Each structure stands twice: as C-alpha cells, then as structure tokens.
C-alpha cells in the first residue's frame, strides 16, 4: 500500500484523537479497580497448581487443530461434561473467548425468517453475530419488558411466522444493572420464543454455587446461556450451555466453532478447576458481596455514583475529555481506573467503570472514592 493509501487510515486516527476517542494500550499498574477478575482467581495458587499438575502429566499447551479434527482433547470434553452438570443444562460447548461464543451463537441459531431482538445495551459481540446471521434483527429499549412484548406482538401481527429470539445480558457490563429475567422468560413463553442470556458478568458471583443469575432458567428447552471463563473464573474461553440439539447444531453449523483452532487444553483445565472452586469456596462470593456493599456506601457518600447492587459501579462523567482526565488523575494516585467512552457506551455518557474485585480490600475502596472526590473537585475548579 502506498503512503497515500495509508493516509486515510492516519486521518481516521487523527479524527479519533481530536474527539478524545483514540484508543491505545496501557500497562496494568496500580490497585486493580478495572479488571473483571472478580473473585481473584486469575493469580490464585489453586488455579496455578491445577495447571502445573496438568503440564506435569503431559497436557499440551496448544490444541493443534479444530475440535472437529485433531484438536478435541480429553480436557475439553471433561470441562463440557462438568459444566453441563454444574449449570443444569443438557450440554455445553467450550469456545476460545466470550466474543467468539456470542458471535457463533447469534450468527448460527436464528434462521432466515426468524426475528432476533437485541436489548439496546447488549454486548458488541452479540451485535456482530446478529449482523452476520440470516434472521431479521431489531432492538428494544434497555430492560423494557413492555416494549419487548409490543415488538413481538407487532411482528406476529405483521405476518412473522418464524421463531423469535431474544438476546440479553443478565448483568450489564457498563451499567451494572440486571435484566428482569422473570418478566422476560414469561414473555418468551407466551410467544414461543427463545431466550439467550449472556451471563458474562454474573457467572461465578450469583446463584447457588455461582451458577449465575439465570440459574433457575437453565435446563429449559427455550433458554441458552453463555458463561465466560475469563472473568470471575480467572482463565480464558467461554461456555455455551443449553439444549443438546442446539449445541449439536452449533457444532455442525457454527463456523466460528468449526473453523477455529480449539482453545488450549490448559484453559479447559483452568475452567474445570474454577468450577470446583466456586462450589468449594463460597467465602469468595461472600467476601466480594461485603466489598460491593462497602463500595456502594462509599460511592453514595462521595456523591460519585448510585450503588448498583453489583460489582460494577459506573461513574457517569458525560464528556469524553473529562472522563479521561479523571481516570488519569486516579492513575497518578495509584488506582487503576479506566475511562470508557463512546461508541462502547452511548454518546454523552463517557464514564469511569469501577470494578470491585477480591484484588482489593475495604481500605482500598475507601481510598479510591476519597481520591475520586478530590479529583472531581479539582476538575470542577
């Protein structure tokens, strides 16, 4: 490509920089208030020990091929069997990331003639999967059950005869609020629809043994769940759990599954061990719940944010530059807090996304919100 050809790319980057939306990589440093390592498992001795033992007994680092060729390892099958039992589903499939799993799910299962409805704040990976699929796609206002039912009714009244699919997150990654799952499943059942629940930020933290917010719905033939392994479970990859026939269909028709090199067998070992930790160490969830409550009190007292009741606390700033300035100020004070800007969040809602994990303690939480109050005061001066 000529220099002239590259110029258009540089111009696009310059435009992003001018609007304070240019992304770049930054090293991890300071006290962790930005990761999704909610239960502190990523560096846990128990997970490290499981991987060390697996390597010692000959578990390979790489899979060497797709699952349908040589890449199907015993560790993958052991994880999928355990995950299906753990989440009370008929079957589970292991993917290399949550993004790939969401993309595969929404590009494969909804068919031509179907309607796929997305919550307005659902993950970008779900949107990309929907765009690549064959179904008609629309979206409804965030967590608006009445709007959802009206959309389904209008589509049926307009002659829609295919299957209706609804894709939501059980706990939203940028706002920390929950989907009204009881209302949604009731609507889904009235319209003979399918509910796709992304449990990325709920798996490991909520429900019996950390089975997620949709734990009471799994096992139904109209519910599919996605459980990421790279957040509270401390490793990498993702599991889709649901009816056996739909998992088998994805194995046969899901191009991201068929044509991807399988996840590392070591990551399957890590995820399997993490599921055992969830069952055997409930005190991790109890400690996190205590920290979440403390963070909610500190956020409210400082005037920074309204508690969400979850481990995700958005501090809405509005202006992109102001959000970057606040994040930089907190980083200088030793806190790893990042600014999240459009298009990841809606225009005018640039924010600090504060994540509460077991990598901090209550003193750290109090110190963070004191520092945030100081930085906001300096910004307003």
pLDDT tens track for 347-363: 999 999 999 999 999 99
Q: What are the φ and ψ backbone dihedral angles of 191, each rounded to 5 degrees?
A: -110, 15
Residue 377 has what pLDDT?
84
Whole-number Å distance between alpha carbons of 43 and 340: 25
Q: How confident is the model at residue 3 (pLDDT cuts 50, 70, 90)?
A: confident
The pLDDT of residue 380 is above 90: no
The pLDDT of residue 201 is above 80: yes
59-280 and 28-42+282-380 share a CATH fold: no
Q: How confident is the model at residue 1 (pLDDT cuts 50, 70, 90)?
A: low
Q: Which residues are catalytic?
A: 36, 123, 169, 173, 198, 201, 231
**CA-closest candidate to residue 315, choices 371, 373, 354:** 354
DSSP E strands: which ranges in the chain?
Answer: 31-32, 91-95, 115-119, 136-140, 164-169, 194-198, 223-228, 238-242, 312-318, 335-336, 339-340, 350-355
Residue 109 near residue 251 (C-beta atoms within 8 A): no
Report the pLDDT averaged over residues 17-30: 88
Residue 19 has what pLDDT?
87
Q: What is the mean pLDDT of the chain?
A: 96
Report the pLDDT averaged over residues 178-186: 97
Query: Residue written as tokens 């969401």?
Result: 102
Into which CATH architecture does domain 28-42+282-380 fall? Answer: Alpha-Beta Complex (3.90)
Residue 24 has what pLDDT?
86
Please tell me which residue, 276 or 378, carries the higher pLDDT value: 276
Q: How confident is the model at residue 27 (pLDDT cuts 50, 70, 90)?
A: confident
Q: Give the 3-state secondary structure of residue 209.
A: helix
Sorted by where each begins, the domain ranges of the chain are 28-42+282-380, 59-280
The pLDDT of residue 36 is above 90: yes
β-pair type (350-355, 238-242) = unpaired
Please tell me which residue, 26 or 65, carries the higher pLDDT value: 65
The pLDDT of residue 378 is above 90: no
Q: How confident is the model at residue 25 (pLDDT cuts 50, 70, 90)?
A: confident
Report the pLDDT averaged over residues 104-127: 97
Paired tokens of 332? 């200088």
With pLDDT > 90 as the criterion, what percentage of the chain qualifies? Answer: 93
The pLDDT of residue 381 is above 80: no
Whole-number Å distance between alpha carbons of 279 and 94: 20
Report the pLDDT averaged over residues 206-226: 97
Whole-number Å distance between alpha carbons of 217 and 139: 23
CATH code of 59-280, in short, is: 3.40.640.10
Please tell me which residue, 153 or 304, carries the higher pLDDT value: 153
């Amino acid at each position: 490509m000529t220099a002239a050809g590259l110029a258009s790319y540089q111009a696009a980057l310059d435009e992003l920089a001018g609007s304070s939306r240019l992304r770049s990589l930054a090293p991890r440093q300071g006290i962790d208030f930005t990761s999704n390592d909610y239960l502190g498992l990523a560096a846990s001795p128990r997970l490290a020990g499981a991987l060390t033992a697996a390597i010692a007994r000959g578990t390979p680092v790489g899979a060497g091929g797709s699952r349908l060729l040589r890449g199907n390892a015993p560790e993958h099958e052991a994880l999928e069997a355990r995950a299906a039992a753990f989440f009370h589903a008929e079957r589970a499939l292991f993917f290399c990331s949550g993004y790939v799993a969401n993309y595969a799910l929404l590009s494969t299962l909804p068919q031509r003639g179907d309607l796929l409805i997305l919550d307005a704040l659902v993950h970008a990976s779900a949107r990309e999967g929907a765009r690549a699929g064959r179904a008609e796609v629309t979206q409804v206002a965030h967590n608006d059950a009445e709007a959802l039912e009206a959309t389904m009714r209008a589509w049926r009244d307009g002659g829609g005869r295919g299957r209706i699919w609804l894709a939501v997150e059980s706990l939203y990654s940028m706002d920390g609020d929950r989907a009204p799952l009881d209302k949604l499943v009731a609507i889904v059942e009235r319209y003979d629809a399918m509910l796709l629940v992304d449990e990325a930020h709920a798996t490991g933290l909520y429900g019996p043994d950390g089975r997620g917010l949709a734990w009471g719905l799994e096992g139904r033939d109209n519910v599919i769940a996605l459980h990421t392994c790279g957040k509270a479970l401390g490793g990498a990859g993702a599991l889709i759990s649901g009816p056996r026939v739909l998992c088998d269909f994805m194995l046969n028709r899901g191009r991201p599954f068929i044509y991807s090199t399988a996840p590392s067998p070591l990551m399957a070992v890590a995820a399997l061990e993490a599921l055992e930790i969830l069952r055997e160490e409930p005190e991790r969830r109890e400690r996190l719940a205590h920290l979440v409550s403390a963070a909610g009190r500190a956020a409210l007292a400082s005037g920074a944010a309204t508690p969400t009741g979850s481990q995700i606390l958005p501090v809405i700033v509005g202006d992109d530059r102001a959000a970057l300035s606040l994040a930089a100020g907190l980083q200088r004070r030793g806190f790893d807090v990042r600014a999240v800007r459009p298009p990841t969040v809606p225009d005018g809602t640039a924010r600090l996304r504060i994540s509460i994990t077991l990598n901090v303690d209550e003193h750290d939480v109090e110190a963070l919100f004191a520092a945030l109050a100081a930085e906001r005061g300096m910004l307003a001066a």
